[in-house]
Amino acid sequence: MDVLVIGGGQAGLAAGYFLRRTGLSFAILDAAEEPGGAWRHGWDSLTLFSPAQHSSLPGWPMPVPAGGGYPPRDAVIAYLAAYEARYALPVRRPLRVTGVRRAAEGLVAEAATGERLAARAFISATGTWSRPFIPAIPGGETFAGRQIHSAQYRRPEAFAGLSVLVVGGGNSGAQILAEISRYAARATWVTEREPVFLPDDVDGRVLFERATARWEAERAGLPPPAQLGGLGNVVMVAAVREARARGVLGSVRPFQRLEPGAAVWPDGTRIAADAIIWCTGFGPALDHLAPLGLAGAEGRVAVGAEGQAVGEPRLWLLGYGDWTGMASATLAGITRAARGTVAGIAASLVPSFVPPAAG
Ligand code: FAD
């Protein structure tokens, strides 16, 4: 086998699309039971914050939902399932890779089934969803109420009548606060700083373009462009606009500690709480790479151009976030990142390889 891709979410599929065009042999190993990657675990009301036209994988545009609007979670899952069928991508599922090791025959993936699969190059595309991040807070372990991460959140009815703290000022925090506040007795939004709300007519597509411009300026050693807006800013999707109209989008700064039934602020303010929903982001899911001894800061692996691991040139990382390629954790950004990674692999395995034209 020339290339093994670990992970069959949007990043793994985009890699598969470009690998098909190289003529290299490859397979995609995915731990999940079904297609869809992280989208299978999103909460019920989760929608994209970019229109379908700007959320497509290479080759085949995402269908526009009937009635327009931003595609809901299930439409994204259906698109990813149809995408891998359309391009007959060789996905083996469910197959969890538990470790990647150096062996006499090259790099070898060990699967939970006991199988050993060797390849000349590996792409790790395992995403972040299985690595929710919750900050350590004094007294956190004494809190008697319910604590979940946004990765486990499904629907607001479970919080009816409760006092809920929603922690985190990004899009997850804003969207979950918006719907929780319709059911909870009290919903308190806790954010590190005042959230940045984008104008109503600015969606994820514009954020992506601005983030790209900033990234390109940085790479060229130029000052950042004047326009504000990053992928962490709050997009005013319908639910968040509705929450604003109800006047519930106010936020407070972080509490200092937790007690069994309350959060306590530095000035002594205390809010009784039954539940906390941590919308505090994710880290990369890279446990399977531990045997290679490449772990660096924040659980990351140092990468060079196109996501090639600095300490292991036969390994490439794809997706995860800007550190492996600009906006590579988004549908809009994965095409460019996957094209670059596959071109890099092909060039390393087939010296006469000429990258295919964009498309
Ligand atoms: P994933 O989708 O997580 O796929 C990784 C796959 O790898 C999974 O199928 C997993 O089972 C598999 N896997 C993991 N470990 C192993 C292993 N050891 N062996 C084998 N397989 C393994 N993006 C957008 O573009 N637009 C949006 O509007 C948007 N909204 C979002 C809203 C929220 C609240 C969140 C949290 C994210 C949002 N995203 C959005 C980002 C997007 O959901 C993820 O970043 C994206 O799913 C990442 O794709 P991926 O393929 O890298 O990883």
CB 332 near ligand 1, within 6 Å: yes
Q: Taking 90 as the threshold, does the pLDDT of residue 201 lie above it?
A: no
**For position 224, what pLDDT does the model report?**
67
SS3 170: coil
CB 330 near ligand 1, within 6 Å: yes
272 and 306: one domain?
no
CB 56 near ligand 1, within 6 Å: no
CB 319 near ligand 1, within 6 Å: yes
Q: Taking 70 as the threshold, does the pLDDT of residue 283 lie above it?
A: yes
* pLDDT category of residue 231 using cuts at 50, 70 and 90: low
262 and 292: one domain?
no
**For position 66, what pLDDT does the model report?**
83
Final residue of a domain: which of 224, 245, 278? 278
Q: Which atom of ligand 1 is nearest to the CA of 288?
A: 18
CB 172 near ligand 1, within 6 Å: yes
Ligand 1: residue whose CA is nearest its atom 34: 172
250 and 328: one domain?
no
47 and 150: one domain?
no
* pLDDT category of residue 298 using cuts at 50, 70 and 90: confident
Instruction: Decide if 57 is inside a domain.
Output: yes
pLDDT digits (tens, 9 = 90+) for 71-101: 999 999 999 999 999 999 999 999 999 999 9
Which whole-number Å values give the CA distances from 318 to 70, 168, 209, 233, in the listed order?
25, 26, 20, 23
181 and 243: one domain?
yes
Task: Give the mean model confidence (pLDDT) for residues 22-51.
Answer: 94
Structural domain including 261 reads 140-197+234-278
111 and 171: one domain?
no
Q: How far is the CA of 233 from the centre of ligand 1 (A)?
A: 19
CB 288 near ligand 1, within 6 Å: yes
Give the helix ranges, DSSP H, for 112-266. Answer: 171-180, 204-219, 238-245
Instruction: Decide if 262 is inside a domain.
Output: yes
Instruction: Decide if 120 is inside a domain.
Output: yes
In total, how many domains does the chain have? 2
Measured CA to CA, the distance from residue 252 to residue 222 in angstroms comes to 35
CB 331 near ligand 1, within 6 Å: yes
Least confident segment among 106-110, 251-255, 295-299: 295-299
Instruction: Decide if 271 is inside a domain.
Output: yes
pLDDT digits (tens, 9 = 90+) for 45-62: 998 888 888 889 999 999
Ligand 1: residue whose CA is nearest its atom 27: 48
Ligand 1: residue whose CA is nearest its atom 4: 9
CB 127 near ligand 1, within 6 Å: yes
Average pLDDT taken over every residue of the chain:
91
Instruction: Decide if 229 is inside a domain.
Output: no
Q: How far is the CA of 130 from the centre of ligand 1 (A)?
A: 9
Q: How far is the CA of 30 from the centre of ligand 1 (A)?
A: 12
17 and 122: one domain?
yes
123 and 30: one domain?
yes
Residue 100 has φ and ψ, to the nearest 5°, of -120, 125
Q: How far is the CA of 72 from the centre of ligand 1 (A)?
A: 15
Measured CA to CA, the distance from residue 188 to residue 273 in angstroms comes to 9
Instruction: Decide if 223 is inside a domain.
Output: no
CB atoms within 10 A of CB 252: 14
Measured CA to CA, the distance from residue 329 to residue 8 in angstroms comes to 13
CB 340 near ligand 1, within 6 Å: no
Q: How far is the CA of 304 from the centre of ligand 1 (A)?
A: 22
181 and 166: one domain?
yes
335 and 240: one domain?
no
For residue 117, the domain's CATH number is 3.50.50.60
